[in-house]
Structure 1
Amino acid sequence: MRQLFGNRAFVLLMVSDFMQNIGIWIRNMALLFFIMEKSNHDPVAVSLLTVIEYVPIFVISMIGGVLADRWRPKRTMIWGDVLSFLSILLILFVVLAGYWQAVFAVTLVSAVVSQFSQPSSMKIIKRCLPDEHVPAATALSQTLMSLFIILGPMVGTTIYQTFGLLASLISLLVLFAASAIVLTFLPSSVDQAPDTTESAGSLLKDMKAGFSYIASSRLLKVLLVVYVVLALGSGLVQPLDIFVITERLQLDMSSVQWFTALEGLGMLIGGLIAAVIAGKVKGTYLLFAGLSFLGLSTFVEVLSQWPMLTGTMRFLTGVLMAMAQTVLMAVMMQQVDEKFIGRLGGVMMPVFTGMMLIGSGFTGWYMSATSIVVVYFTAGALFLLSSFISMKLPISREPVQEEAEAPVSVNATVKV
């Protein structure tokens, strides 16, 4: 742990991520409340805001991953913050001008920009840290994300309700500007340009090279299957969470926030534990434990009629899932060749999101045709299946290398 905080690049990256996460939650909550007020609580307007946040994951994620593999990561992240700053400035102008509907278009721009910044952040971590420190780094990142799951909505809501939309947008401008300034202090060693001997190929060729890289690796194919099964199960239960609270526990629907907070607290503690034991426990064991316990806790939650039992399961699930997510991220960071980090994220994220949406779209009909118990047991079975599949991950100490006979050149990169 001491080595991580002694690494200048990692500390600066964490500070930047901290400010960006605060900014994202302030933006999300401010725009949600603003759209609710302006549209008179129109559910179509609110759902459109959610769709706008998801669309770039499907349309831009792979392209963003390819370009992140081509471009200098430090410069890409700085430009990401600059463009986020400009998009918030544009939102401020259209709101002051009275054209509140334009907020949807500007929010789309902001969501697109993030698809370029995220893979660049992973590349910097890959470059600035030795492989043995990557699990602890991903654990700390997971802890930070868990902290914002708990505090983010509270901070965003408090700023909006206390000071209003204008103050929320101005605070965003300050945060994104400060993040860009912090990133300028990253050492030049993390921003090396691609090898000048590499030729400039088309985006399509680079995308094909990314798929060929995944297809040539047993580890990445198994990891992709784990993502698919896990996302499908998550999609089945995610929309029905409130029904467990109201129908099984006979509590008011407002009580859902406390169970969500318990899970977030568990993830926070799990992330800290993962940071301490990183490298001391075999990753496949942690992943299996987290996913299998998620399956068993899903069975218990839907059968439980005792709030204390359900809350305990939520907390323990949060602890073990934080460890499992840390392992998944560490595997991607350690086992993937640096020049494919962006493209792998560009495949994994749309697949995970897409399967979650398929599960969420199917679960309403499935519950109507059967019962909430059947739906939860199906999801639990999927989680258990993913845990057994995860044991097939052939994790090694060396990154997955491209096959020499791959039909598509993977060296087609250009510098920006």
Structure 2
Amino acid sequence: MVLLKNRVFQVIVLTDLIQQTAIWIRNIALLFFVMDLTNNNPIYVSLLTVIEYAPIFIFSFIGGTLADRWDPKKTMIYGDFASALSIIIIIFFVTNGNWQVIFLATLISSIVSQVSQPSSSIMFKRHIPEEMIAPAIGIIQSLQSLFLIIGPIIGTLIYSWLGITASLVSIAIAFFISSIILLFLPKVKKEKENISSKFIKEMQEGIQYVKNSKNLKIIAITFVFIGLGAGIVQPLDVFIVIDRLGLEKENIQWLYMLAGIGMFIGSIVASILSNKLNMKKVIVGGLCFLSLSLIVEVLSVWFVLTATMNFITGFILAMWQTMLGMLIIKMIDEKFVGRTNGILTPLFIGGILLGSAVAGPLVTFTSLITTYIISAIIIFVGAIISTDLELKNTQKKLKNNTE
């Protein structure tokens, strides 16, 4: 397959896998560490999610604009190296008893990623033929789903056996290796920059670009509702395991694993059938099912039922993400990739941020079931909004490119 011989694709896939390993170790280690220190307090757990997503909300648009201006290869290399260096500094403080500084690990990593991630999309768009975008996204989504299976297990094992310090060390090593591998990306031919071009003007152009596209505006609004609904339940997954299923918190890794298996299979199916699936039905139907699954998940007191829902939800969600990813890449001009991502991402993250901020107090003053039902309703509203998408021309273009 020609795609697998593409050097940019090879490098981005490999570094993405390494970064996914680091991210999952970070997510699991910090979650368990905070729960151990706060006696499973939902407010502190939701605060951890807020700290994780706040920089993404604040810096993603600026980062996307900078990514359109800077050398994408150098940006990604410096970004991963900065992440590794920051973790090393944080390890020094943690070993000296200042454990609160671990939150900086997530904070710095999130800030740096807001420039490096759009740069990756730019390299992807520039060096991978258009007709290969669909299978490329499907493969990347499949590999990311694979880490939903093994990532929580790796993170749980490292933290349970070796503790927080070893977890942080492994994260630093992973980001450092990733920065080295990125050196193998091809050199970018720098186009002559318009000296009169202003940073603020480019940001305004990005906003106008989204405003002029009906589909992008609908996606933007939908992202707000999905982010808000997902943000409410994201910090509370572990409480499904503890409160509804009556299991130890470490058992969340098995639910993550089943969701990952579902996503792995779903992304493969979406990649193979991308030119046959109806984009709009997958996007709208996927959100409707996600809404329903949240209600079933919180009402279930049986591990088998909860696990089954996690698997099916993972499968549907992977198809939804793959189709939406293909749709957005097809719709965006290369010169606006960073800025468009920089607009859509903060809307989604802003929703997650707000949802996560209220999750702890909401579940404390109401109940876990009520909180999940509120989240399900919000996501269902997002599904209704997405019914206004007009994708016939995009669908037709996708089919023509894959035939």
Short-chain TM bin: 0.7 to 0.9
Counterpart for residue 84 of structure 1: 83
Give the number of the structure whose residues are more often helix, by fraction. 2
Counterpart for residue 398 of structure 2: none
Aligned-residue CA RMSD in angstroms? Answer: 3.4
- Counterparts of 1:2-401 in structure 2, within 5 Å, are 2-30=1-29, 50-95=49-94, 102-105=101-104, 108-163=107-162, 167-188=166-187, 191-193=188-190, 195-196=191-192, 198-238=194-234, 241=237, 251-252=246-247, 254=249, 256-302=252-298, 304=300, 307-362=303-358, 376-395=372-391, 396-397=393-394
Contact 1:90 1:106 in 2 (8 A): no
Q: Secondary structure at the match of 2:143?
A: helix
Q: Secondary structure at the match of 1:60?
A: helix
**Number of equivalent positions:** 392
Q: Secondary structure at the match of 1:349?
A: helix
Aligned equivalents of 2:309 and 2:225: distance in 1?
21
Provide structure 2 residue ranges, at least 5 long, that are not aligned to the other structure.
396-403
Aligned equivalents of 1:10 and 1:170: distance in 2?
28
Contact 1:73 1:121 in 2 (8 A): yes
Q: 1:45 to 1:298 in 2, by over 3 A?
A: closer
Aligned equivalents of 1:368 and 1:45: distance in 2?
12
Larger Rg: 1
Aligned equivalents of 1:45 and 1:375: distance in 2?
17
Provide structure 1 residue ranges, at least 5 long, that are not aligned to the other structure.
399-416
Report the alpha carbon displacement of residue 150 of structure 1 after superposing the two structures with TM. 2.8
Report the alpha carbon displacement of residue 124 of structure 1 after superposing the two structures with TM. 1.1
In structure 2, give the amino acid aligned to 1:354: G
In structure 2, give the amino acid aligned to 1:144: L
Report the alpha carbon displacement of residue 182 of structure 1 after superposing the two structures with TM. 1.6
Aligned equivalents of 1:117 and 1:140: distance in 2?
20
Contact 1:224 1:348 in 2 (8 A): yes
Q: 1:159 to 1:358 in 2, by over 3 A?
A: closer
Aligned equivalents of 1:23 and 1:371: distance in 2?
33
Q: 1:63 to 1:306 in 2, by over 3 A?
A: same
Report the alpha carbon displacement of residue 75 of structure 1 after superposing the two structures with TM. 1.2
Report the alpha carbon displacement of residue 36 of structure 1 after superposing the two structures with TM. 7.4
Q: 1:148 to 1:207 in 2, by over 3 A?
A: same
Alpha-carbon deviations, 1:29-79, whole Å to 9, x = none?
Answer: 555667778x68796987765444222112211111110111111111111
Question: Under a length normalisation based on structure 1, what TM-score does the superposition of the two structures give?
Answer: 0.80
Task: Say which is worse superposed, 291-300 or 271-280, in terms of deviation.
Answer: 291-300
Aligned equivalents of 1:362 and 1:34: distance in 2?
21
Q: 1:310 to 1:90 in 2, by over 3 A?
A: closer
Q: 1:27 to 1:242 in 2, by over 3 A?
A: closer
Report the alpha carbon displacement of residue 320 of structure 1 after superposing the two structures with TM. 0.8
Report the alpha carbon displacement of residue 321 of structure 1 after superposing the two structures with TM. 0.9
Report the alpha carbon displacement of residue 118 of structure 1 after superposing the two structures with TM. 0.8
Contact 2:138 2:268 in 1 (8 A): yes
Q: 1:345 to 1:158 in 2, by over 3 A?
A: same
Aligned equivalents of 1:165 and 1:245: distance in 2?
22
Aligned equivalents of 2:372 and 2:47: distance in 1?
28
Aligned equivalents of 2:214 and 2:195: distance in 1?
28
Question: Under a length normalisation based on structure 2, what TM-score does the superposition of the two structures give?
Answer: 0.83
Report the alpha carbon displacement of residue 315 of structure 1 after superposing the two structures with TM. 1.6
Aligned equivalents of 1:321 and 1:54: distance in 2?
20
Q: 1:72 to 1:239 in 2, by over 3 A?
A: closer
Task: Say which is worse superposed, 94-103 or 326-335, in terms of deviation.
Answer: 94-103
Report the alpha carbon displacement of residue 314 of structure 1 after superposing the two structures with TM. 2.5
